[in-house]
Amino acid sequence: MEDYFQKYILKRNFKKTPEPYGTFNEEMGSSSFVVHRHDARSLHYDLRIAHKGRLICWAIPKGFSYNQSEKHLAVHTEDHPIQYISFEGIIPKGEYGAGSMNIWDIGTYKLMKFEDFDAALLKGEVKLKFSGRKLLGEWHLVKLKKNKDEWLIFKAKDAYQDKIWDNLLTLDLSLQPEAGMPDTIVPMRFKSVSNPFSDPEWGFEILHEGLRTICIKNGKAFNFIKDESIIADNGFLAERLSFISEIAPERAVIDGIIISIGENGLSSKKILTQIILDKAPSSNLYFYMLDILNFEGYDITTLPYRDRKYLLSLMSGKIPRLLFVDFLKGNGEVFSQEVKKAGVSAVLAKKLDSPYEQGESDHWKLIDLTNIDISDVSEPKSKTGPKPDAVRVTNPDKFFFPDLSLTKKDLVYYYNDVAELILPYLKDRPVHILRFPDGINGSSFYQKHLPDEQDDNFEFITVQDKEGEPPYFICKNKSGLLHLINLGSIDLHIWFSRKQSLEYPDWIAWDLDPKQASFFDVIKVAKEIGKILRGIGLTSFVKTSGKSGLHILVPIQPHYTYEQTRMFSESIGRIVANENKSIATVERNIELRKGRVYIDFLQNRRGQTLVVPYAVRPLPAASISMPLEWDELDKNLSTNMFTLQNAMERISRKGDIFQNFLNTKQTLEAAIQKLDAFVKSNSSSGQ
């Protein structure tokens, strides 16, 4: 029966590719599907449908769209063995389909209209109903007549037709386990009470007073798991809150609060209790969505809170009495102050990267505002805006970038605007500065120490590099940041590790430095590194250096030593240099680089630094070290297209592309195993 896979087998050399040889087994998998993100010569998505022991495959260059009018080309390709459904890895260069292959979605399907898949294929009309993490509802594949391999794929009309579902395609839910609908759930609660605080890793929300319930939705039906503290009639509530059946996902478990709103515009438990006791015909009943635990039959409690909240945001909008309010990130002090003025008595602080935990959790904190004098909360800080009031700018009109007539004031104002994005990187890390007191054409000097150790905007720590060396410094807040800029430090250089775990870096870096090479080659090399990282299951980030190169970063848990991360960076650098000998090298000696892109892995040593994202570089163009989306690495990208003058426009349009960087804490063990397998498959092919 291996005839089925003859094409598949003939195209591949199984001594070289890690792909499964595959055997035929008709019993295996008949209702599963997988979509691979295949980062080959050109990126595409491979839809693979399990049917009678084989996978029926289409390659879809443009991916999927929930917009029915967007019909995308789908090329029917050779059947793959069923074992391919769980395959992830890197197909070595020179082999068929070389590049990384990752699971992008996985789930089950139902064939519609036709009884038998082969009949549907023959008819050229395959209608599928997906229950995936990303692909949901009915999708149609229709064969184009002219060419027998060319089909179109598009979304069919059903409950999942709204464009909000397109946002789902960007979330990574591929690892969330399937789960049935639960019978009981203990809602997550705060464990401790705190004073107002600010922390970029936390989000802040008003605490509403009402009836906390867990809502379980299944099709149009739903019911509540009740909080026992209020006696409530489930049937009455379900009737009054019937709009819940319109919430977009067919199946969901939502943690929420039923609230009523008083005259002051705030939730009122008193009014709610009265409505419930009277069974009054009131429309003053709202469902406020707090969190989501299950999405379309997948348990998502281990996703970070910020992603669950994002998913909730996709579900809200059209239903008037269904409420969703986003958290405010970071500045809990100002938030507490503002909502207290509006009469709110408590705020909930939630850790943005935390899972959903049943019962009391340290990832939730109550901020009780009743006994807090709002004038004590904190000094008001201007969030953005033209006037940095946190620092006095000395010599504000001095030209720092004379070619562009940009002054020191312009520089300080830029950092004032972008401070919210930069401060999370400065938290707990020693900073080194390169000062240009007279602008980029003046003299400069490097500093690891600050003269004034009394300044409250900084923390001073001993890193024990050399005996007798003065302490290093950590910038604690916006005033400190602007103070450093005012000292003439145009960019900021941060350690890879934090004071709590100084010997264990939080990321691994590859610094691509072109020198004589073209930026086009830098892009090519960066994409190769990106491909391998993706292939071994690591999420990576890329930014321009702001000079002439690119920085690739893999955020990790602070568990590995600098020596270990340096070795990891080196092995990937060597693989890529070896596979791209004409354009890439790990050779330190500039002459021996011969115009090739230098993959610098030595940045991963203790005490080395990274230019903080969004920093301005001391160059005539006032270019920025700008976070990029991987898809932006193409011929349109140039090294100094992002500048002090246009950066804020881009940031307000794109948001913070590195938003998840500091929350992505990856481990390396599985990646190293996959890398080993890749190296072995490569070396066996080298002979």
Q: In the structure encoding, which two tokens stand for residue 324, read together?
A: 């969703």
Nearer to Mn ion, 149 or 465 (CB): 149
Nearest distance in Å: CB 36, Mn ion: 7
Residues facing 330 on adjacent strands: 199
State the minimum distance, in angstroms, from the CB of residue 683 to Mn ion.
24
Cα 291 from Cα 271, distance rounded (Å): 24
CB 505 within 8 A of CB 604: yes
Q: How far is the CB of 510 from Mn ion (least distance, A)?
A: 26
At closest approach, how far in Å is the CB of 105 from Mn ion? 15
- Is 38 a binding residue for Mn ion by CB under 5 A? The answer is yes
Q: In this structure, are residues 100 and 39 in contact, taking their beta carbons and an 8 Å threshold?
A: yes
What tokens appear for 346 in the block?
A: 């408590």
Q: Based on CB atoms, which residue is closest to Mn ion, 46 or 417?
A: 46
Give the Å distances, CA to CA, from 401 to 154, 409, 645: 51, 11, 11
- Per CB under 5 A, the segment of 59-67, 103-111, 306-314, 469-477 that binds Mn ion is 59-67
**Alpha-carbon distance 122 to 143, whole Å?**
9
- Yes or no: say if 531 and 39 are a contact pair by the CB < 8 Å rule: yes
327 DSSP assignment: P
Between 92 and 196, CB nearer to Mn ion = 92
DSSP string, 541-571: EEEE-SSSSEEEEEEB-TTS-HHHHHHHHHH
**Between 9 and 261, whose beta carbon lies closer to Mn ion?**
9
What type of residue sits at position 624?
A: I
Cα separation, 35 vs 171, in Å, equals 14
C-beta of 97 vs 558, nearer to Mn ion: 97
Measured from the CB of residue 100, what is the shortest distance to Mn ion in angstroms?
Answer: 11
Relative orientation angle of helices 519-535 and 562-579, to the nearest 10 degrees: 120
Nearer to Mn ion, 46 or 491 (CB): 46
Sole window of 45-53, 265-273, 586-594, 646-654 interacting with Mn ion (rule: CB under 5 A): 45-53
Give 28-58 as a DSSP string.
S-SSEEEEEEEESSSEEEEEEEEETTEEEEE
Longest CA pairwise span in the chain (Å): 86
Whichever of 7 and 449 has its CB closer to Mn ion, that residue is 7
Minimum CB separation of residue 21 from Mn ion in Å reads: 18
CA angle 105, 108, 114 (to 5 degrees): 125
Smallest distance, Mn ion to C-beta of residue 99, A: 8
**Region from 57-65, 355-363, 443-451, 511-519 binding Mn ion, contact rule CB under 5 A:** 57-65
Terminal-to-terminal C-alpha distance of the chain: 32
Nearer to Mn ion, 99 or 573 (CB): 99
Q: Which residue has the tokens 């072995």?
A: 680
Look at residue 434 and give its three-state secondary structure.
strand
Binding residues for Mn ion restricted to 121-140, rule: CB under 5 A = none
- Min dist CB 671 to Mn ion, Å, is 22
Closest approach, Cβ 463 to Mn ion, in A, equals: 48
Q: Under the criterion CB under 5 A, does residue 39 sit at the interface with Mn ion? A: no
Q: Which residue, 33 or 160, is less far from Mn ion as judged by CB?
A: 33
Q: Which of 19, 39, 46, 513 binds Mn ion (CB under 5 A)?
A: 46
Number of residues that bind Mn ion (CB under 5 A): 3
Residue with smaller CB distance to Mn ion, 59 or 533:
59
**What's the min distance (Å) between Cβ of 41 and Mn ion?**
10
CB of 78 to Mn ion, least distance (A): 10
Q: Does 95 bind Mn ion (CB under 5 A)?
A: no
x/- letters, 343..382, toward Mn ion (CB under 5 A): ----------------------------------------
Site track for Mn ion across 564-603, x = CB under 5 A = ----------------------------------------
Question: Binding marks (x or -) toward Mn ion, 405..434, rule CB under 5 A?
Answer: ------------------------------
Provide φ and ψ at 7, rounded to 5°: -60, -45
Q: How many angstroms separate the CA atoms of 176 and 35, rounded?
A: 15
Output 43 or 372, the one with its CB closest to Mn ion: 43
- Give 644: exposed, middle or buried? Use CB within 10 Å, 0-12, 13-18, 19+: buried
Q: Which is nearer to Mn ion, 59 or 168 (CB)?
A: 59
Q: How far is the CB of 96 from Mn ion (least distance, A)?
A: 9
Q: Confirm if 254 and 243 have CB atoms less than 8 A apart.
A: no
Q: CA 517, 519, 523: angle at the middle one, nearest 5?
A: 115
Rounded least distance, CB 40 to Mn ion, Å = 6
DSSP run (H or E) holding 153? strand 150-155
User: Please, what is the minimum distance in Å from the beta carbon of residue 18 to Mn ion?
Assistant: 15
Query: Phi and psi at residue 131, in whole multiples of 5°?
Result: -120, 80
Distance CA 170, CA 26 (A): 34
Only one residue has tokens 């598009």, namely 154
In the bound state with Mn ion, the residue whose beta carbon lies nearer, of 59 and 315, is 59
The smaller minimum CB distance to Mn ion, of residues 41 and 653, is found at 41
Are 13 and 685 contacting, i.e. CB atoms less than 8 angstroms apart? yes
Tell me the residue number closest to Mn ion, measured at CB: 38
Positions touching Mn ion (CB under 5 A) are 38, 46, 59
